[in-house]
Amino acid sequence: MDMLSVQGGRPLVGHVRVSGAKNAALPIMAATLAIPGCTILENIPVLRDIASMTELLGQLGVRTEPEATGGLAFTSTSGAAFVADYELVRKMRASVCVLGPLLASRGEACVSLPGGCNIGLRPIDLHLRGLVALGAEIEIRNGYVQARAARLRGARIHLSGPQGSTVTGTCNVMTAATLARGITQIEAAACEPEVADLGHFLQACGARIEGLGTPLLTIEGVDTLYPCRYAIIPDRIEAATWMIAAAITRGQVTVEHCQPETLTAVIEHLRLAGADVLVHENRVTVRGTARPRAGALVATPYPGFPTDVQAQWTALMSLAEGVGIVTDHVFPERFMHAAELMRMGAQIRREANSVIIQGVPQLSAASVMASDLRASAALVLAALAAEGESTIRRIYHLDRGYERLDEKLRGLGAIVERKRDPESVSGASSPLRQPHWSRPGNPSRNTPQ
């Protein structure tokens, strides 16, 4: 396994470009299962999760190749493969997004129950409820979801659960409904930009979808989808991470190739914390001028403050003046990073689905271990602000969701080095290889092909 060595105490200064959105790319890649022919996707980030999805699609009959302008070409065949194996699905929860496309296009799907980050219980009962409403016969046997349907039919479906709407569930049901007979209405649909991006992609492929970005989706089924060329949206979670990095190090960073309109909640809370935030059409500049101010924050579904930025915000509040409270209504158990931040001197107390943070003037360097993707980012941010040299272990989590994070940090003046962890078991995890499609071209217009 690799680890990061971070020398803290240096403000980040400069410009950084945001990569494509992982959480949009994965369900869009999965949807190519239902699209005959060659679809070209641009602005796909180079990540472990992308590599895992590419491998899974390969097993299901989708060939992936680099395209001349820098994108990736996905060629789906009419093969009969419909089994998504445990060894691949366990690595990444988004693998479950192949369930809807497989069922709609091949009439059968056998998908292992998903894995992913250890951030609490995340059942897929809403996915299954939606697909059953569309006419699927589903049973769970030996750890696999087994689904069958000769032809799905339109239905009225409600997708809200105890923690709100389901993002991947909305993606699964929406993709399946595009090929169902008749009209489907999805109530309490997830409104996240990544869900809307999948919908826009499907529209470019001939799907008839209304209401994207709202809780009510209306989908008129079509007989077939067609390949297209499409550019993935920028990653708002990466953008938010860079914005908080500027504030926590009291630096000045311009975050380029982002969509500020999807970051309104983050921008508002940064300003309340005392950071200067200047918003442009497709970039945001954040300047941390002094010690941040503590405040209360609640992570909620979009357009609220993202749960995927909660850990990074907790790191910022660890250095704030006063007492901060961070609550997560989406994943109430998502606080495993708190114990590691405390190793760096943070004063944090857990109460139910909240943490209460007494800000300290300075964090100190420590050796810490990442528990999940966003916790990894939080520990890197804390290390950048801490006094001394910190070591972050198990950073394979970072490589699942942040493209070239250490390289981008060095471009902003940070002293960061990626090393092999001498304490890890030899061969337990290999470094992320840069594949032959590792430099996507510039996004282009989303036009049918």
Sign of CA dihedral 27, 33, 36, 37: positive
Please check whether residue 329 is in contact with residue 298, taking contact to mean a CB–CB distance below 8 angstroms. yes
Which residue carries 């990569």 as its tokens? 19
41-45, 141-145, 188-192, 199-203: range with lowest mean pLDDT:
141-145
Tell whether the model's pLDDT for residue 117 goes beyond 90. no
39-53, 225-239, 243-257, 434-448: range with lowest mean pLDDT:
434-448
Q: Residue 446 — very low, low, confident or very high, per pLDDT cuts 50/70/90?
A: very low
pLDDT reported for residue 437 = 43
pLDDT reported for residue 162 = 78
- Residues noted as catalytic: 117
Give the C-alpha separation, 327 to 427, whole Å: 38
Cβ contacts of 83 within 8 Å, gap of 6 or more: 59, 110, 111
Q: Residue 440 — very low, low, confident or very high, per pLDDT cuts 50/70/90?
A: very low
pLDDT in tens, 153-163: 999 999 998 77
pLDDT reported for residue 123 = 67
| 281 membership: H or E segment, kind and range | none
pLDDT reported for residue 213 = 97
pLDDT reported for residue 143 = 86
Residue with the bigger pLDDT between 256 and 89: it is 256
pLDDT reported for residue 428 = 42
pLDDT in tens, 293-326: 999 999 999 999 999 999 999 999 999 999 999 9
pLDDT in tens, 317-349: 999 999 999 999 998 888 999 999 999 999 999
Tell whether the model's pLDDT for residue 175 goes beyond 90. yes
Mean of per-residue pLDDT scores for the chain = 91
Q: Residue 69 — very low, low, confident or very high, per pLDDT cuts 50/70/90?
A: confident
Q: Sketch the domain layout of the chain as residue ranges.
A: 2-19+234-420, 22-231
pLDDT reported for residue 425 = 53
pLDDT in tens, 195-238: 999 999 999 999 999 999 999 999 999 999 999 999 999 999 99
pLDDT reported for residue 158 = 96
Task: Name the CATH superfamily housing domain 22-231.
Answer: Enolpyruvate transferase domain (3.65.10.10)
Q: Is the peptide bond before 303 cis (omega within 30 degrees of 0)?
A: yes
Prediction pTM value: 0.92
Question: Domain 2-19+234-420, CATH 3.50.50.60 — does that match?
Answer: no
Residue with the bigger pLDDT between 94 and 408: it is 408
pLDDT reported for residue 443 = 37
Tell whether the model's pLDDT for residue 434 goes beyond 60. no
Q: What percent of the chain has pLDDT over 70?
A: 92
Q: Residue 431 — very low, low, confident or very high, per pLDDT cuts 50/70/90?
A: very low
pLDDT reported for residue 68 = 83
DSSP 8-state assignment for residue 308:
G
Burial of 209 (0-12, 13-18, 19+ CB in 10 A): buried
288 three-class SS: coil
